[in-house]
């Protein structure tokens, strides 16, 4: 009697198995998968030139929170950043943030050289400093930096600054 009570379930299983095999034969799994290869998310490139490792980490943390489609590279000084940009013609950042006060080369000197690089013609270059001393601010305007940001004292203020930059330039 138990055999007969499971009989309809066995037939249902057999029927489903046959249907699945027929479907697979006529429509292989690869044909049923929605192809997503034509959809590409373009990652924006950001370069942070900052000598303070703590400031780099905070910047990256805030950027990740504000914008998921931005890939950020960090360099510890202007000399190494310029060297990397010259030796790597494929790397063209969309956004560059430069600390004003750095060893080896000041941020203003770095900005002056970056502005002469043809491949960075469309890059948005921001000066990024703890203070807005008159000379640095004036010189960055003269060299046509996109803007001059004072490093905020708290993380939420930095997130707001970055959101303003990355959301307004979409």
Range of the domain at 107: 44-168
101 and 63 both lie in a single domain: yes
Taking a C-beta distance cutoff of 8 angstroms, is the pair 170, 69 a contact?
A: no
Indicate whether 130 and 66 sit together in one domain.
yes
For 24-75, write each residue's pLDDT tens digit. 555 544 444 444 444 556 788 999 999 999 999 999 999 999 888 889 999 9
pLDDT tens-digit readout, 132-155 = 777 778 888 888 998 888 888 889
115 and 61, same domain (yes or no): yes
End-to-end CA distance of the chain: 70
Instruction: Verify that 50 and 133 share a domain, yes or no.
Output: yes
Token pair in block for residue 56: 């780099």
Q: Say if residue 56 is in the same domain as residue 26.
A: no
- Answer yes or no: do 48 and 124 share one domain: yes
Residues 70 and 6 placed together within one structural domain of the fold: no
| Per-residue model confidence as pLDDT tens digits over 88-131 | 989 999 999 999 989 889 999 999 999 999 999 999 999 988 87
Residue 38 in any domain: the answer is no
């Amino acid at each position: 009697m138990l055999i007969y009570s499971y009989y309809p379930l066995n037939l249902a299983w057999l029927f489903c198995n046959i249907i699945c095999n027929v479907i697979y034969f006529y429509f292989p799994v690869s044909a049923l998968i929605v192809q997503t290869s034509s959809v590409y998310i373009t990652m924006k490139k950001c370069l942070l030139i900052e000598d303070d490792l703590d400031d780099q980490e905070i910047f990256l943390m805030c950027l990740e929170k504000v914008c998921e489609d931005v890939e950020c590279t960090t360099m510890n000084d202007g000399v190494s950043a310029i060297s990397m940009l010259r030796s790597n013609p494929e790397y063209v950042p969309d956004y560059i943030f430069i600390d004003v006060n750095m060893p080896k080369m000041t941020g203003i000197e770095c900005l002056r050289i970056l502005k002469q690089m043809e491949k960075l013609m469309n890059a948005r270059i921001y000066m990024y400093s703890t203070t807005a001393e008159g000379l640095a601010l004036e010189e960055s305007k003269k060299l046509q930096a996109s803007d001059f940001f004072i490093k905020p004292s708290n993380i939420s203020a930095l997130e707001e600054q970055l959101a303003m930059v990355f959301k307004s330039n979409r």
